[in-house]
Structure 1
Amino acid sequence: MKHHLYILTGASRGMGLAMAEQLLQAGHALLCISRNANPALESAAQKAAVPLTQWTHDLADGTGAAARLSDWLAGQNPDDLASVSLINNAGVIPPILPVSQSQPADLAWALRVGLEAPMALCTAFLGATRSWTLPRKVLNISSGLGRYPMASQAGYCAAKAGMDHFTRCMALDEALQEHGARVCSLAPGVIDTDMQVQMRGAAGEAFPDQAKFLQLKANGQLSSAPQAAAQVLAFLARPDFGEQAVADVRG
């Protein structure tokens, strides 16, 4: 029986962990790339009797991760697969401060993990699978903050805006290929994850929008990680996936 293979970054916690769990439960093969492995995924994979590989790799080194992925994909037999999908989910929020108070190293870190690594992994994925004729997909997890500016969030906003536009360009490239991949940069909605905790805990004087995030939590307007993961994976499975290079799970 052929497997659907998924490659997922940032799978050790939050929405990434929820996506990994749901993919395994659905019987799909999975490669996870995260700073830390999650033992719960090993148990889930054994229970579902599906292949799971976990790499511990800091995506601040996107070039190294891409080289490793390219080599790994070269060892896969596409005849054993029904489809292959790359989900770039990992991202970081640097210290929540105005640009004038930010450290250049923190901004560089946000761009390395949130933009440089996804770009490098997309390059490796598309290059290594170029001759494969099976369905290929790239899902880049973006954010509404890539489309709407916010004070004290310059690093994160810039990374996500860059991801959106990179995906638009990638979609144009792939449309010219005979068996081009379908690609999309998707905003997953507002989710109750560690990032939200970070925003709610920021100093009010440094983060003018802190009250909005406190209100979202107080009013129960945040999706849970499992809810958001289910919505994202349902979007990825849609027959029209990739018709929009940049989209929002909320429509």
Structure 2
Amino acid sequence: MTEHLMLLTGASRGLGLAMARQWVQTPGRLLIALARHPDAGLADWAQQHGSRCLSWVLDLADAPAAARVLSDWLAAQPTDVFASATLLNNAGVLSPLGPIGASRAAELSNALRVGLEAPMLLTAAFLRGTGDWSARRAGTVKVLNVSSGLGRRAMAGSAAYCAAKAGMDHYTRAVALEEAQHPHPARIVSLAPGVIDTDMQVQLRAGDPAVFPDRLRFVQLKDAGLLDSTEAAATKVLAWLDRADFGAQPVADVREG
């Protein structure tokens, strides 16, 4: 029981890819990278550092199917093979910017499926599948949900994304209360990672001011050099995951220490 397991969604680019690459740099780790288009170099990178990486090609917009894949895989694992197990729900979708009345139903639905339904179903499958694992008795089963400040402060023009992240925060609070009733609880946190220089920021800066009034704020953040690189943000998120008090505060922000 020496290998450490992480299941990571959205692992093919941006913050997810940076976290994947950093996490497998420590030997003895198994990363399951979930993405529609896996990064071809992750497996070799992990092997170079004494770890392993398996890529699952999954579309989280079909959350029940993704959860079934996870459930089946967990059920096939010995209960005492992993020293720790972590689910890191990182994937999210920012639908086209603008008022909800002008949004397409399919775009709103996709943002909520990927950003909220999938994390909930994967969390349920993960907690169920690890319920009798040795890692659960050791207190080393964790769920980390990558949230956003926009789940705590509404923004016009991005209702679906704000709703998904607010829902993520609140379901995390509820699951933390549920797990506290168990003799060997999993620990769960919904963590805002700060403002990061990703494709999502490019999308925000390119928004039409007529339908996205906050556009200038994101332009100013970029111009002032206030965006974290994906590598810096990944380091902060993974450091939070390793905190001894992980889970004591179920909804948190890396900028609040």
Q: TM-score, normalised by structure 1?
A: 0.98
Range moving further from structure 2, 128-137 or 236-245: 128-137
Q: Please name the residue that 1:190 is paired with.
A: 195
Question: What is the aligned counterpart of 1:210 among 190, 205, 215?
Answer: 215
Contact residue 6 and residue 31 of structure 2 kept, 8 A = yes
The residue identity in structure 2 corresponding to 1:174 is: E
Range moving further from structure 2, 137-146 or 18-27: 18-27
Q: Secondary structure at the match of 1:94?
A: coil
2:253 equivalent to 1:240: no
The residue identity in structure 2 corresponding to 1:20 is: A
Aligned length: 251
CA RMSD of aligned residues (A): 0.9
Q: Please name the residue that 2:66 is paired with.
A: 65
Supply the distance in 2 between the matched residues of 1:107 and 1:145 (Cα, whole angstroms).
Answer: 16
Q: Secondary structure at the match of 1:93?
A: coil
Runs of 5+ unmatched residues, structure 2: none
Following superposition, the deviation at residue 46 of structure 1 comes to: 2.0
2:13 equivalent to 1:18: no
Following superposition, the deviation at residue 37 of structure 1 comes to: 1.0
Supply the distance in 2 between the matched residues of 1:67 and 1:167 (Cα, whole angstroms).
Answer: 21
Supply the distance in 1 between the matched residues of 2:141 and 2:211 (Cα, whole angstroms).
Answer: 43
Q: Please name the residue that 2:80 is paired with.
A: 79
Following superposition, the deviation at residue 117 of structure 1 comes to: 0.3
Q: Please name the residue that 2:102 is paired with.
A: 101
Which structure 1 residue ranges, 4+ long, deviate > 3 Å from structure 2?
none
Q: Secondary structure at the match of 2:24?
A: helix
1:97-139 superposed Cα distances (whole Å, 9 cap, x missing partner): 1112111221111000000000000000000111123110000
Q: Please name the residue that 2:52 is paired with.
A: 51
Contact residue 133 and residue 179 of structure 1 kept, 8 A = no
Supply the distance in 2 between the matched residues of 1:227 and 1:110 (Cα, whole angstroms).
Answer: 26
Q: TM-score, normalised by structure 2?
A: 0.96
2:152 equivalent to 1:147: yes
Runs of 5+ unmatched residues, structure 1: none
Contact residue 79 and residue 132 of structure 2 kept, 8 A = no
Q: Secondary structure at the match of 2:255?
A: coil
The residue identity in structure 2 corresponding to 1:58 is: D
